[in-house]
């Protein structure tokens, strides 16, 4: 520029006024520090959880991590107990959420008229917006006496099965919305090709669209699993607290998350620098790592689904 | 098939019938019914939930009227009310809005309007996506060891479990949601609008503030309201970060920011764990109040979005 027209530049700078340039710099710095704050949050989470968890491990005898159940007050931190609880709840939740979520997604993406979609989709969104503690109350007061008890007579008032169904209900909207996005991203030309060969709608949906969207569908299931593992209040309300190790979904029990909530409240309330208090962070670390792996995996599948077409 | 063998004028109709498949597609119809049933499952759950909760809550409201909303917590289920919870939830919502909205919007603007595609930018983006997936209890741990500790230090008496610490915890929890939805809203603004701004000599900030932000405002607002309603329904992080579970006196305006606090979902959790049947009814009534607030917020967000959905 300067070489091209020295006469103009001599008295007039194209870079604008100094005040304006300074303001631009300040704005950019402010915005950048906001972005840096998000990194700081992650750093704080990892630092907090890691430091306290390691100090917990240093304080206890490693044998205390194995025992007859999860009894932090008595110094028995049987990690397997809460892992098994998490596994039971998550498995039941996914057994509910996978077929219902995927079927809802297929209907919304392949069958529903635009008008129906506009009415039906908000229902899923409202279900997704219901606080989890409310679903917990629903599981305790409706699912257990109305569904679990009639099917299995010896079910406890607080049981893992009802909590699992509750978490499943909570996960349906997530599965449905991610899977629907994936199926809608499948180009219309694929469907037209299928119809051109004389395929029926069901064949087109299940044999053409579904396989084409499989990355996104897998992502939906992984993300929902991660959400189910991290779900807290449904389990804390409907399944009671973690106790003796159990494989029976009809028993009261707890997950990693509900163990944390119980540690922080009620009869198990523990404060100060005791091992029981620090076990909170140890469980938090386990939870953080498990969900992180699942989220990264799910994210990879989402991106693969996007790159395909 | 007999139609084909009959008189010539009928042939056209017969061919059409054969081509369009008079055979009923039973499997197809059954499949469609199955899909619809799955979708109706969500609707049914929603209905049963709302009817059940309303049925339990109605006697409480009939007996107590507005007294339920204006009385403080109590260990007597016939006297217990949600006043402290309503105040707590309202203040928490305000704190989340004040803290998460500016920080989230600024981050979104930086990532979408300012940042070049560097390794640092991608790190920030990945980090935000991962933060969005961190379970909410883990944020409670962050609140406990960072915010509560911070307010402990400020207070001096080791009483950091205040509503400010809780609000900051919830704000951090919903920050990724605010950022992600704001980014989507900004991305939906066509590049031509920005180019028009630069064309008349506007600076980057002028283009962002006067052209991009007004166009993206409805989308950003929707995301913020959704995030807010999510924050108001959260329980687990508050439990960990020290909201009071059980009755306590206080939460008056003098000690609002320095004393104990609770929130509606905390009250629901507390009451639904109690053995007395009367507290179950109280819990249902508290759920009605909580749902009224969150569903109202969600409804506004959905309405806002449907209204602002425009194609450029």
**pLDDT tens across B49-101, in order?**
999 999 999 999 998 888 899 888 888 888 888 999 999 999 999 999 999 99
> How confident is the model at residue B160, as a pLDDT?
79
Distance of CA B1 to the CA centre of its chain: 60
State the pLDDT at residue B18.
67
Q: How far apart are CA B16 and CA B18, in angstroms?
A: 5
In this prediction, the residues of chain A whose per-residue pLDDT falls under 50 are 1-9, 267-269
Residue A147, by phi and psi: left (phi above 0), alpha (psi -120 to 50) or beta? alpha
Chain B residues close to A96, C-beta within 8 Å: none
Question: Does the pLDDT value for residue B7 go beyond 60?
Answer: no
User: Bridge-partner residues for A77, per DSSP?
Assistant: A70
CB pair distance less than 8 Å for B205 and A172:
no
ipTM: 0.88
Burial class, B233, CB count within 10 angstroms (exposed 0-12 / middle 13-18 / buried 19+): buried
Residue A309: per-residue pLDDT: 61
What is chain B's Cα-based Rg? 27
Helix (H) or strand (E) segment spanning residue A274: none
Share of chain B above pLDDT 90, in %: 58
Reported confidence tier of residue B166, pLDDT bands at 50, 70, 90: very high
Cβ separation B145–A52 shorter than 8 A: yes
Tokens of A86: 């998490």
Phi-psi region of A266 (alpha: psi -120 to 50; beta: other; left: phi over 0): left
Q: Where are the alpha helices (DSSP H) in chain A?
A: 6-9, 18-59, 79-106, 114-129, 132-138, 149-151, 160-184, 188-196, 201-203, 210-212, 214-230, 233-238, 256-264, 275-307
pLDDT-derived band at B25, boundaries 50, 70, 90 = confident
From the list B11, B136, B280, B241, the residue with the least C-alpha distance to A265 is B241
Higher pLDDT, B223 or B100: B100
Residue B175: both structure tokens together:
């920050």
Q: Per mean pLDDT, which range of A93-97, A278-282, B205-209, B308-312 is the poorest?
A: B308-312
The Cα B264–Cα B241 span in angstroms is: 15
State how far the Cα of B262 lies from the Cα of B63, in Å rounded to an integer. 24
Cα–Cα distances in Å, from B95 out to A67, A218, B106? Answer: 43, 37, 17
Chain A residues touching residue B134 (CB < 8 angstroms): 45, 230, 288, 291-292
pLDDT greater at residue A205 or residue B244: A205
Which of B 105-144 lie inside 8 A of A, CB atoms? Answer: 106-107, 109-111, 114-115, 123-124, 126-131, 133-142
The pLDDT assigned to A132 comes to 95
pLDDT value of position A67: 85
Of A280, A285, A288, nearest to A73 by C-alpha is: A280
Chain B 61-100, residues with CB within 8 Å of chain A CB atoms: none
Cα A87 to chain centroid distance, Å, stands at 15
- Give the residue from chain A lying closest to B241, CA to CA: A264
Number of inter-chain CB pairs under 8 A, A vs B: 250
Single out the residue of A7, A6, A15 nearest to residue B201, CA to CA: A15
- Indicate the pTM of the whole model: 0.88
**Lowest-confidence pick of A9-18, A122-131, B117-126, B221-230:** A9-18
Instruction: Report pLDDT for B1.
Output: 45
Most confident of A42-46, B147-151, B254-258, B260-264: A42-46
Whether B149 shows a pLDDT value over 50: the answer reads yes
A205, A188, A176, A213: which is closest to A306 by C-alpha? A213
Chain mean position to CA B87: 19
């Amino acid at each position: 520029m300067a070489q091209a027209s020295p006469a103009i530049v001599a008295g007039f700078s194209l870079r604008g006024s100094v005040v304006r340039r300074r303001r631009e710099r300040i704005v950019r710095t402010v915005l950048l520090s906001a972005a840096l704050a998000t990194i700081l949050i992650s750093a704080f989470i990892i630092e907090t959880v890691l430091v306290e968890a390691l100090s917990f491990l240093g304080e206890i005898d490693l044998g205390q991590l194995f025992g007859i159940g999860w009894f932090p007050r008595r110094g028995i931190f049987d990690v397997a107990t809460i892992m098994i609880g998490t596994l039971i709840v998550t498995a039941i939740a996914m057994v509910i959420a996978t077929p219902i979520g995927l079927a809802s997604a297929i209907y919304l993406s392949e069958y529903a008229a635009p008008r129906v979609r506009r009415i039906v989709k908000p229902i899923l969104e409202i279900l997704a917006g219901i606080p989890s503690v409310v679903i917990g109350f629903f599981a305790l007061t409706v699912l257990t006496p109305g569904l679990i008890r009639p099917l299995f007579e010896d079910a406890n008032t607080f049981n893992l099965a009802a909590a699992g169904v509750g978490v499943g209900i909570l996960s349906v909207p997530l599965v449905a919305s991610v899977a629907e996005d994936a199926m809608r991203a499948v180009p219309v030309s694929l469907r037209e090709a299928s119809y051109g060969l004389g395929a029926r709608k069901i064949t087109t949906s299940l044999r053409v669209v579904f396989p084409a969207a499989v990355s996104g569908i897998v992502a939906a299931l992984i993300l929902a699993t991660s959400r189910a593992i991290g779900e807290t209040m449904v389990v804390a309300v409907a399944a009671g607290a973690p106790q003796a190790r159990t494989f029976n979904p009809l028993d009261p029990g707890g997950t990693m998350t509900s163990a944390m909530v119980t540690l922080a409240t009620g009869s198990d309330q523990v404060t100060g620098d005791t091992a029981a208090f620090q076990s909170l962070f140890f469980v938090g670390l386990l939870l953080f790592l498990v969900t992180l792996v699942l989220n990264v995996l799910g994210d990879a599948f989402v991106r693969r689904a996007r790159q395909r077409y | 098939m007999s139609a084909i063998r009959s008189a010539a004028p009928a042939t056209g109709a017969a061919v059409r019938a054969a081509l369009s498949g008079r055979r009923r597609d039973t499997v197809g119809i059954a499949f469609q019914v199955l899909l619809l049933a799955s979708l109706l499952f969500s609707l049914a759950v929603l209905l049963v939930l709302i009817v059940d909760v309303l049925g339990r809550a109605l006697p409480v409201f009939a007996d107590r009227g507005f007294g339920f909303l204006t009385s403080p917590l109590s260990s007597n289920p016939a006297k217990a009310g949600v006043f402290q919870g309503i105040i707590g939830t309202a203040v928490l919502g305000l704190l989340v809005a004040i803290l998460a909205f500016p920080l989230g919007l600024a981050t979104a603007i930086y990532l979408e309007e300012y940042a070049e595609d560097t390794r640092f930018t991608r790190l920030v983006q990945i980090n935000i996506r991962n933060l969005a997936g961190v379970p909410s209890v883990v944020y409670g741990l962050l609140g406990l060891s960072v915010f509560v500790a911070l307010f402990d230090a400020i207070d001096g008496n080791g009483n950091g479990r205040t509503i400010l610490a809780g609000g900051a915890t919830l704000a951090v929890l919903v920050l990724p949601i605010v950022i992600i939805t704001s980014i989507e809203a900004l991305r939906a603004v066509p590049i031509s609008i920005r180019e028009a701004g630069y064309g008349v000599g506007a600076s980057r900030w002028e283009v962002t503030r006067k052209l991009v932000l007004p166009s993206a405002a409805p989308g950003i607002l929707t995301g913020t309201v959704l995030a807010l309603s999510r924050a108001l329904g959260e329980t687990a992080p508050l439990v960990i970060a020290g909201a009071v579970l059980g009755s306590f006196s206080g939460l008056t305006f003098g000690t609002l920011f320095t004393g104990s606090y609770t929130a509606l979902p905390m009250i629901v959790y507390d009451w639904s764990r109690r053995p007395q049947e009367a507290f179950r009814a109280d819990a249902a009534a508290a759920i009605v109040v909580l749902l009224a607030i969150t569903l109202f917020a969600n409804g506004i967000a959905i309405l806002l979005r449907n209204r602002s959905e425009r194609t450029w």
